[in-house]
Amino acid sequence: MAIQLDKGIELIDDIPGRGAKAEKGCKIVYNARFFLRRGDEVTNDPPSIALYRDQLNIRNIGNLELIDHTTILGKRQPIACVERSLYGMQAGGFREILAGPHLCYGENGIDGLIPPNAMLRVQLWVQDVRCAT
């Protein structure tokens, strides 16, 4: 039975972390991988990563090389499915979701990367959660 994390977001896997749970206003450092529903990974542009590598914080998780992203929850900085899925996560936690197109890139998609109306499978690792006390 599928677990609905939020309207349009199905929870596939959830491994809790430790410490404060992410909530509105918290600063989150996270890593993400995106896949099309049929399993193809949506990859970052290798030439751009090579060009800006010294400006990026790259983290190795297992045999994966992932870019650190930072957001403040409630500011709508990442796409909706990512922001909504980060709520409640803790540092060291992992979550995998399947998200509807309306919470991803919608009817436009991203030319050459994500087709219009694509559902995405997203893997999220939370590295740090900082909330005002």
CATH number for the domain harbouring residue 58: 3.10.50.40
pTM of the predicted structure, to 2 decimals: 0.88
What is the amino acid identity at position 133?
A: T
Q: Which pLDDT tens digit goes with each residue over 65-115?
A: 888 899 999 999 999 999 999 999 999 999 999 999 999 999 999 888 899
Those residues with Cβ within 8 angstroms of residue 36's Cβ, 6 or more apart along the chain or in another chain: 42, 114, 115, 118, 119, 120, 121
Tokens of 23: 């909530």
57 CB neighbour count, 10 Å cutoff: 12
φ, ψ of residue 111 in degrees (nearest 5): -50, 125
Question: Is pLDDT larger for residue 51 or for residue 70?
Answer: 70
pLDDT of 1 higher than 70: no
* pLDDT more than 90, % of the chain: 65
Counted domains in the chain: 1
For residue 86, the enclosing domain spans 3-130
For the chain, what is the mean pLDDT?
A: 89
Calculate ∠ Cα 73-32-63, nearest 5°: 145
